[in-house]
Each structure stands twice: as structure tokens, then as C-alpha cells.
Amino acid sequence: MKSLILHTATRLMIGILILFSLFLFFRGHDEPGGGFIGGLVGAGAFTLYAIAFGTDLTRKVLRVDPITLIALGLASLVVSGVIPLITADPFLTGKWLFLEWGNSDIKLSTPLLFDIGVYLCVVGFIVTVIFSLEEEN
């Protein structure tokens, strides 16, 4: 779409939107938020970009094919479920790793990996839908 306002606003917005989506994603660890809603906002950023600059440029910005994103998301989900099998726990059991870095605690866990998977799947799925709708015309 050729509109100076949209182009300028999009350039400003896309960074903020992606940052916000990551913020929502990590906030979901203990508070409302998480992979799904984060993914929605992230997908919103790319959708806005696709409306403003077309799908070809958006593909370049995204670097990977959105369907690959879905596949990577699924892979991440599977891995998060399979990790506990190593210690003979049931599929999808939450495994945690606590690290200290300076003054802050870092909590790494299989639920986090699962959430990354959800994030990637949501972004991949919505962007795929938007692309196929846009490209049909």
C-alpha cells in the first residue's frame, strides 16, 4: 500500500511491536502473557509490515519461510516433551535448571522451550495465512 503515513509509522512500530511481543512472551513465565499472546503480537508486527511494504519485502525481513517457523516450533515442542524421558520421567514433565548470573536468577526450563515452540507456531501460522491471502491477488 502506498501511503507515506503507513510506511513511516510501520518503520517506527515494527521494532516496538516485536519488543512488546518478546516482553509479553517472557512475562508469561510467572504472570499473564506467554507464547500464544506474544506470538500473536509478533505476527501482528509482520502483518503490518506486509500490508505496508508487500509480501516480498516481508519475506526478506523474516529471513525464513513462515512454514519453516511452524516446523521449528513443532520441533521445539517435541524436544521440550522428550527431554524428561532421559531421566525416565513421563512425557512433558517440567524440568528446571536454575542459574545465577550476577544478582539475578535465571530459570531455564522445558516449559520455556515449550512456550518458544508455541510462539514460533503462532507467528508461523498467522504469517502463512496472511501471505497466502495477500499473494492470491
Rg value, the chain, Cα = 17
Helix ranges (H only) for the chain are 4-27, 35-53, 55-62, 66-86, 110-136
- For cell 514460533, what's the residue? 120
- Under the binding rule (CB under 8 A), the answer on residue 88 touching another protein is yes
- For another protein, which is the closer residue by CB, 44 or 73? 73
Q: Minimum Å distance from CB 72 to another protein?
A: 8
In contact, 83 and 110? CB cutoff 8 Å: yes
Stretch that binds another protein, among 5-13, 18-26, 27-35, 64-72 (CB under 8 A): 64-72
90 belongs to the binding site for another protein (CB under 8 A): yes
Per CB under 8 A, the list member of 6, 18, 92, 113 interacting with another protein is 92
Residue 93 binds another protein (CB under 8 A): yes
Q: Does 116 bind another protein (CB under 8 A)?
A: no
Number of residues binding to another protein, judged by CB under 8 A:
19
Per the listing, cell 512475562 goes with 27
Q: Could you tell me whether strands 104-109 and 96-101 are parallel, antiparallel, or unpaired per DSSP bridges?
A: antiparallel
Cα distances from 34 to residues 20, 26, 104, 115, 124, in angstroms, run 12, 6, 21, 7, 16
Does 133 help bind another protein (rule: CB under 8 A)?
A: no
Chain residues binding another protein by CB under 8 A are 67-68, 70-72, 74-75, 78, 81-82, 84-85, 88-94
